[in-house]
A and B are shown apart, each in its own frame.
Chain A
Amino acid sequence: MSAPAIELRGLRREFRVRQGMFAAPKQVIAVGDVSFEVPAGSVLGVVGESGCGKSTLARLILGLLEPTAGEVLVDGQRLSGMDRRARARLIQPVFQDPFASLNPKRRIRDIVAMPLIAQGDIGGAERDRRVAEALERVGLSREQGMRFPAQLSGGQRQRVAIARALVLRPRIVVCDEPTSALDVSVQAQILNLLAELRRDLGLTYLFISHNLAVVEHIASEVAVMYLGRIVERAGSEALFAAPRHPYTRALLASVLTPEPGLGVPDVGLGDVMPDPANIPPGCRFHPRCPVAIPRCATETPKVIADGRGLVECHLA
């Protein structure tokens, strides 16, 4: 059995945030002691509301942020202390906004070539060949490679971002809301492309999204994040068929499928919003939980890990 593509051991990241000139800085725990493994060749979907720490998690796994505690192993190797160039050959990102993540003053071809240039030892004909191959993989023509980002549509730009991520032939791609800025018809094109690339190239994805329907479509396993913790994790089918955490149930209930006549569901979460600078004692979800019992306010639930997955809830 080979090493998992991604392994997190007690990963924690804190930020200090100043709120006002004289207030003492507050400590925000964006990611709180998260451990999990992503087997090679699988897709782990990470879902949660804004501010739950899912993007911080992505940045930690990409090595763009240093953890406060714990460690990240990628393909069995510690990420901290890994050479930047070696890291780039192993793991690559695709971000949400293809308008912000591409340099507007460079041609597509040169944007895609950038990771190769940064490697330093891939030049000339080999570089051109690899760029052409990456563009072709994502369905862009040679002629489109000569254009500038502003001359492409949103979907085409996201293809460029994917080509740039693939040009070093990494094993792992971290996708942070890769389709959230796109129209539905284009979203479908990009999701199909990502699925095809994973099959053909044997990639592993960490796929972050707030859209559960998208995650269900692409992920083999799903982790539900709430205020910095993974509160439930299970295989995709199991999670959607029998969610165990009340938060997962609320998230699933809020998915509006295109079925007329069902009306808008009552997700039952109340109007208390989660604040990462002010994590409640006991179960961090209890102020919004529709089924909380007195114990939830005082006692932190233990992780229950069994054959069905992992869940953090007193009632599970």
Chain B
Amino acid sequence: MTALLEMRDLRVTIGSTAAVRGATITVNKGETHCLVGESGCGKSISALSVMNLLPRGAKRETSALRFAGEEIGRYTERQMERLRGDRMAMIFQEPMTSLNPAYTVGSQMTEVLRRHRSTPRAQAVDRAAELLARVGITAPGLRLGQFPHQLSGGLRQRVMIAMALMCDPELLIADEPTTALDVTVQAQILRLLATLQQDLGLGILLITHDLGVVARIADRVSVMYAGEVVESAPTASLFATPEHPYTRGLLTCVPVPGKVKRDEPLGSIPGIVPRITPGFTGCGFRDRCPEAHAACTGAIPRQAVSAEHELLCTLKPGWGGKAAA
């Protein structure tokens, strides 16, 4: 498979916080790669790093940042602007904050094409209507003339997706695209993303905290904790043989109907996420880890569990046998 996006050894510091500490993320053509982790683990910052959309004051370093074979790490803002919204597009959690309330859906959607491709207005409108229909919106003509506040949350997210597709991107970055939606709508939006990917051969980098979403939609998963990718594997392999104690802990925390009896405690991870400052060494999870030992304060080896399954931990792969479940 060809790598569409290859980001090696990403490091981001924001003020005195080391937000990402050496994360490597690759997305292949036509593949959905999920970044999963809890708030503050650096997953959104990693995604924003790809687009060079980090907040002011954040410093980004990578040993390689390749998009479709080309190194884009040193691109100027001008060059990045040409990529963003064109060959790589992004959708966010809360469509209301990323849509402009003062413009109609139609004018926001066509702006993308007019800007990147200088497409004539009438043609851009046709394309917008076609894509709204493509994402399952009935009466696209009506929706084009409406303002974001006139749409429901699910419709807004569909509009965001349609807008992201205006220029036929190769890479779609989706940051918690269904977290603000009802479960029923979440299922519809995820189905839509899955079909679009198959039809258009999109590479998707999807950020989520929900292991249920990961299991159902990802080809590959990277689990992030305290700014590092602690485990990365094909989806089936990660759920069948989770190796990192954090991954295992996370899996036992999720209530699954019929799995844990009522009133019996769910698994949980004691303690809270540490704040990591530059210069921190060792494993960021050691204070909460039931398996922690002396070596966890030193350098942590990156080990291969199998050809495609990587682990950042001092424990030997296979230490705990099969999945904890």
Taking a contact as CB atoms under 8 Å apart, the answer to whether B257 and A255 are in contact is yes
Inter-subunit contact A192/B38 (CB<8 Å)? no
Q: Is the C-beta of B258 less than 8 angstroms from some C-beta in chain A?
A: yes
Q: Which residues of A contact B266 (CB under 8 A)?
A: 188, 191-192, 217
**Smallest CB separation, A60 vs chain B (Å):** 22
A212 at the interface (CB under 8 A from B): yes
**Contact, CB under 8 Å: A217 / B262:** yes
Q: List 14 A-B contacts (CB under 8 A).
A: A49-B182, A49-B184, A188-B254, A188-B255, A188-B268, A188-B269, A216-B257, A217-B260, A217-B262, A219-B262, A220-B262, A255-B212, A262-B215, A273-B155
Q: B211 interface residue, CB < 8 Å from A?
A: yes
The residue among B212, B238, B270 with the most chain A CB atoms within 10 A of its own CB is B212
B276 close to chain A: CB less than 8 A: no
Whether, in the assembled complex, A307 has its beta carbon less than 8 Å from a beta carbon of chain B, the answer is no
Q: Bits for B204-238, please: 1 = Cβ < 8 Å to A, else 0.
A: 00000111111111100000000000000001101
A185 near B257: Cβ-Cβ < 8 Å: no
User: Which residues of A lie under 8 Å from residue B210 when comparing CB positions?
Assistant: 184, 256
CB-CB < 8 A to A255: which residues of B?
183, 212, 257
Whether B194 is near chain A, meaning CB under 8 Å from some CB there, is: yes
Residue pair A155, B216 in contact (C-beta under 8 Å): no
Interface-lining segment among A104-112, A128-136, A163-171, A246-254: A246-254
Known A-B contacts A184-B38, A185-B249; the reply to A263 vs B194 at CB < 8 A is yes
Q: Is the CB of B263 within 8 A of A199?
A: yes
**Given contacts A188-B267, A218-B262, A260 and B215 within 8 Å (CB-CB):** yes
List, in ascending order, chain B residues with CB within 8 A of A252's CB. 257
Q: Which residues of B contact A185 (CB under 8 A)?
A: 38, 249-250, 253, 268-269
Q: Is the CB of A184 within 8 A of B184?
A: no
Interface residue stretch chosen among B49-57, B113-121, B185-193, B299-307: B185-193
B194→A264 contact, CB < 8 A? yes
Number of A-B contacts (CB under 8 A): 146
Question: Is A258 within 8 A of B214, CB to CB?
Answer: yes
A50 to B153, CA, bound (A): 10
Decide if B17 is an interface residue (CB 8 Å cutoff): no
What residue of chain B has the Cβ atom nearest to residue A187's Cβ? B253
Instruction: Say yes or no: A250-B184 contact (C-beta < 8 A), given A216-B255, A217-B260.
Output: yes
Instruction: Give the residues in chain B near A273, CB-CB below 8 Å.
Output: 152, 154-155
Which residue of chain A has the shortest Cβ distance to B239 in the bound complex?
A260
Whether A266 pairs with B262 at a CB distance below 8 angstroms is no
B binding-site residues for A, Cβ under 8 Å: 38-39, 136-138, 152-155, 182-188, 190-191, 194, 209-218, 235-236, 238-239, 249-258, 260, 262-263, 265-270, 272-273
Interface bits A119-158 vs B (CB < 8 Å: 1, else 0): 0000000000000000000000000000000000111100
- Determine the residue in chain A with the shortest Cβ distance to B186: A254
Contacts of A199 in B (CB 8 A): 263
B138: contacting residue among A186, A219, A271, CB under 8 A: A271
A75 to chain B, nearest CB (A): 23
**Residues in A whose Cβ lies below 8 Å from that of B250:** 184-185
Our pick among B39, B137, B152, B216 for the contact of A256 (Cβ within 8 Å) is B216
Residues of chain B lying within 8 A (CB to CB) of residue A263? 194, 216
User: Top 8 nearest A-B pairs by Cβ distance?
Assistant: A256-B212, A188-B268, A188-B253, A183-B38, A185-B269, A217-B255, A188-B266, A258-B211
CA distance A271 to B138 in the complex (A): 8
Chain B residues positioned under 8 Å from A271 (CB to CB) = 136-138, 154-155, 188
Chain A positions within 8 Å of B218 at CB level: 260
Cα–Cα distance between A254 and B235 once the two chains are bound (Å): 20
Q: Mark A226-262, 1 if CB is under 8 A from B, else 0.
A: 0000000000100010000000001111111111111
Q: What separation, in Å, do the CA atoms of A153 and B262 have in the docked complex?
A: 27
Of the candidates A195, A236, A259, the one whose C-beta lies within 8 Å of that of B265 is A195
Contact partners of B265 in chain A: CB under 8 A: 192, 195-196
Could you tell me if B235 and A260 are in contact, using CB atoms closer than 8 angstroms?
A: yes
Q: How far is the CA of A218 from the CA of B263 in the complex (A)?
A: 7
Q: Which listed residue (A191, A210, A257) contacts B256, Cβ 8 A? A: A257
- Given contacts A252-B257, A257-B256, A263-B194, could you give 8 more A-B pairs where the C-beta distance is less than 8 Å? A185-B249, A186-B272, A216-B257, A218-B262, A220-B262, A256-B190, A269-B184, A271-B154
Q: A185-B250, A213-B255 are in contact. Are A258 and B212 (CB under 8 A)?
A: yes
Q: How far is the CB of B225 from chain A (nearest CB, A)?
A: 10
Given known contacts A153-B272, A185-B268, A213-B255, A264 and B215 CB-to-CB distance under 8 angstroms: no
Would you call A267 and B188 a contact (CB within 8 A)? yes
| Distance of B311 from chain A, by nearest CB (Å) | 18
Tell me whether B251 and A50 are in contact (CB under 8 A): no
